[in-house]
Amino acid sequence: MSPSLIHAARTAQLLAVRALTAYGLAHPVTRLLLAAASTAAAQAWDRGHAVHAVHPAPPQRARRDR
């Protein structure tokens, strides 16, 4: 299994989120990038990558005891 599929899916997702933040959902660039992100994620899934490989959990912040 190719790690480049995971990298492509993560990159496409990041670019789509940036476009969504900058331009909104109705912008054609945002819609194009969302379609690319979903396609890349589907290709990674079809090749056997798990969902957590495409969408890793966010890092945990250290808890402060009060």
11-37: per-residue pLDDT in tens?
Answer: 998 999 999 999 999 999 999 999 999
Greatest CA separation for the chain:
48
* Residue 44 placed within a domain: yes
Residue scoring higher pLDDT (57 or 24): 24
Mean pLDDT taken over the chain: 83
HSE, side-chain direction, 13 A CA sphere, residue 42: 6
Contact (Cβ atoms closer than 8 angstroms) between residue 23 and residue 30: yes
* Residue 57 placed within a domain: no
Which pLDDT belongs to residue 41? 86
Q: Could you tell me which of 66, 44, 63 has the C-alpha nearest to residue 55?
A: 44
* Residue 61 placed within a domain: no
Domain that holds residue 32: 3-49
* Residue 66 placed within a domain: no
Which amino acid is present at 25? L
pTM summary value: 0.71
What is the Rg, in whole angstroms, of the alpha carbon atoms belonging to the chain?
15
The count of domains in the chain is 1
Mean local confidence (pLDDT), 49-66: 69
Which pLDDT belongs to residue 1? 47
* Residue 55 placed within a domain: no
